[in-house]
Structure 1
Amino acid sequence: MDEIEDYSEKIHEQSNEHAHEILHHSESKDRWVMYVALSTAVIAVLAAITGLLAGNHADDAMLTQIHASDQWAFYQSKGIKAELLASTDHVLVVMGKQSDTVDNKKIAKYKQQQQDIMKKATEYQKESDTHVERHDVLARGVTLFQASIAIGAISIITRRRPLWFVSLGFAAVGLFFLIQELFF
């Protein structure tokens, strides 16, 4: 993502430099370039905010996935303990020795603990999935903002106003994704 941010920053800087040149060396009819440069700066800020939020959700998704994995490992260890006790009891019965009822209580306890652990692991997994979904929505917004910045720069370089409107359209859709994530 750093490469993309560096690329969009370079495009933004180049378009601003070009905008300053046009403003100082051209007629007043090209003053729209100033508005393109200003809108591009605002879009760059929105892209940075959206990228930060997307990164936070990616980090949170990874952390909760690690918690879920830890819980599943704990679940497995309880299952192994229960099976080991059951196997030991079975061997004792086959050998003609009496099975210890304490082991049966421990087995039941381990099985109950497994159910509780499974609930926690499932909750962590759902939370991780939610963070991944939120990250995906915000990542779409970042992509659209970056495309908007690039198209805005192209509109300045080629002096084509309709491209600026296309740029604003991309930014509007990116803003939709940002707002969707923040308020819904």
Structure 2
Amino acid sequence: MSGAGFHVHGPHDHELEHAAQHEPQGLAGRLAVVTAVLATFGAMFGYMGGATQANAGLYKNEAAIKKTEASNQWAFYQSKSGKQNLAELAAVLVSDEAKKSKYQDEIERYKTEKAEIKHKAEALEAESLAWDRKSEAQMHEHHRWAQATTALQVSIALAAIALLTKKKWMAWGTLAVGSVGIAVGVAAWFHL
């Protein structure tokens, strides 16, 4: 907005000129950008670490539920075994053939019921084991996310030290540790 040699600045023009003159340059400007990028990755990795830890807990809980259900089935199996044993004893002790036949039928019924109960208990134990394995896998992944997040936090701390000391080698350390953190995060992403 100039006319006849007279130039008037608007508020926006003034802010743009001020930013251009006082914008961080050199090491400080680059470290500011690197720190922002590292903090963004750190936030994402922290979220994933929390999510995998929560999943591990849920899966471990499901494993415990299935283990309890299997234990209940085994108790039921033992109950049927006790009844079968009593029927077998009664069949031996009774002299009446009609009653003996009745006890033999009960013995066969208990054997069939026990086989079904045993099959169900074993299936529940297998489910429990599968949930345990899922939980362990999630915890492994959680540890990877936590390692990645920690490396990024150390990297951000190194960036602050590099800014205060104006040491270039410290800035390179920031990049090196940050790269390690990102690499570990990538490993977590691919479940390694």
Give the TM-score normalised by structure 1.
0.80
Higher mean C-alpha deviation, range 165-174 or range 154-163: 154-163
The answer to whether structure 1 residue 114 and structure 2 residue 121 are counterparts is yes
Q: Which amino acid aligns with 1:135?
A: H
| Distance in 2 of aligned mates of 1:165 and 1:137 | 24
Q: Which amino acid aligns with 1:116?
A: A
Number of aligned residue pairs: 159
| Distance in 2 of aligned mates of 1:130 and 1:180 | 13
Task: Give the unaligned 5+ runs of structure 1.
Answer: 1-22
- Aligned partner of 1:12 in structure 2 is none
Moved over 4 A (4+): none
Instruction: Report the secondary structure of 2:146's partner residue.
Output: helix
- Equivalent of residue 153 in structure 1, options 160, 167, 190: 160
- Aligned partner of 1:123 in structure 2 is 130
- Aligned partner of 2:56 in structure 1 is 61
Q: Which amino acid aligns with 2:132?
A: Q
Mark the structure with the bigger radius of gyration: 2
Task: Give the unaligned 5+ runs of structure 2.
Answer: 1-20, 95-102
| Distance in 1 of aligned mates of 2:29 and 2:185 | 25
Give, in angstroms, the shift of residue 160 of structure 1. 1.4
Structure 1 vs Structure 2: percent identity of aligned residues? 18
| Distance in 2 of aligned mates of 1:44 and 1:102 | 67
| Distance in 2 of aligned mates of 1:171 and 1:160 | 17
The answer to whether structure 1 residue 50 and structure 2 residue 45 are counterparts is yes
Q: Write out per-residue CA displacement over residues 56-97 of structure 1, whole angstroms, 9 at most, x where no aligned residue.
A: 111111111111111111110000000011012213333436
- RMSD of aligned Cα (Å): 2.0
Q: Write out per-residue CA displacement over residues 98-140 of structure 1, whole angstroms, 9 at most, x where no aligned residue.
A: 2512222111101011121122111111111111111111110
Give the TM-score normalised by structure 2.
0.77
